[in-house]
Amino acid sequence: MRRTAIALIAAGVGFSQTAFAADLGRPAPAYKAPPPIVAPIYNWSGCYIGGNGGGVWVSKDWAVSGVGVAGIGNVNFGAVGVGGHDANSGIAGVQIGCNYQFAGGWVFGIQGDYDWMNANGSHLDPFGLGTIFSSNAKSLGSVTGRVGYAWDRFLGYVKGGWAWERDEYTWTIPAVAVLVGSETRGGWTVGVGAEYAFLDWLTGFVEYDYYDFGTRTVGLSFAPVIVNFDIQERKSVVKAGLNFKFGGGYSSPVAARY
């Protein structure tokens, strides 16, 4: 009986050692990486509408170039400079546009905007006669194309296109007359800006725009007399605003590396 028990114990020990050795020689199970994390990437495609506010700085140079009488005709002569002045004011307006984002972050768009202002400026004539030249820039609009590059919710861009403005003018000759005139003129604009998406449907931007409206002839009249002035104008605008996005996909999920 005692011999039988000893034999059973020995057999069990041998079996355990054999199983342990087999486990040591068995390869470890293959490691399986967890699924990739899905990170949302903002998509700038879509249309938007919004509002803006900021400041405008206007520069005007004047030259008298002719004189005439209504119904009779004008006499034009070489432009004679009569000085210039600067003006500035606040600015507020609206904008509307659409963007399309291509693979790799490039964003192309088109935008129209319109702003109101009240930039008054004036200067005395340089001949010591005491006459006063004045202007008032009333409004400003543009239609521009935009090209930018997006880093997720941040977009940097440049823009350029066609612009127009509305101005009013006066030439005051003390104790004699006040000649008045107005115009709507076209020009070009370029700008640079940055925009950030706070929410899928709400973005904020800040930008600088330069406007060049060239030189145009403007007639100022005190019936029946008309005096023609060649007026050159340039503008700078700094503004910030908000856009409400609609009509497009908001965010696109992409697989990020684990």
* pTM > 0.85: yes or no: no
CB 153 within 8 A of CB 197: yes
pLDDT of 19: 46
pLDDT of 30: 62
C-alpha angle with apex 243: 240 to 249, nearest 5 degrees?
A: 145
pLDDT of 49: 98
DSSP state, residue 105: S
CATH number of the structural domain 43-249: 2.40.128.90
Q: Amino acid identity of 41?
A: I
pLDDT of 21: 47
pLDDT of 73: 79
pLDDT tens by residue, 40-52? 789 999 999 999 9
Where along the chain do its domains lie?
Answer: 43-249
Residue 91 to residue 54: CA distance in whole angstroms: 5
CB 251 within 8 A of CB 200: yes
pLDDT of 34: 64
pLDDT tens by residue, 79-125? 999 999 999 999 999 999 999 999 889 999 999 999 999 999 999 99
pLDDT of 35: 62
Residue 122 to residue 108: CA distance in whole angstroms: 41
Q: Which two tokens stand for residue 3?
A: 């011999």
233 closest CA partner among 57, 61, 55, 56: 61
pLDDT of 33: 64
pLDDT of 204: 98
pLDDT of 199: 95
Q: Which two tokens stand for residue 50?
A: 């919004």
Contacts of residue 119, defined as CB under 8 A and 6 or more positions apart, other chains included, come to: 56, 58, 87, 88, 89, 136, 137
pLDDT of 74: 81
Q: Give pLDDT < 70 ranges for the chain.
A: 1-39, 248-258
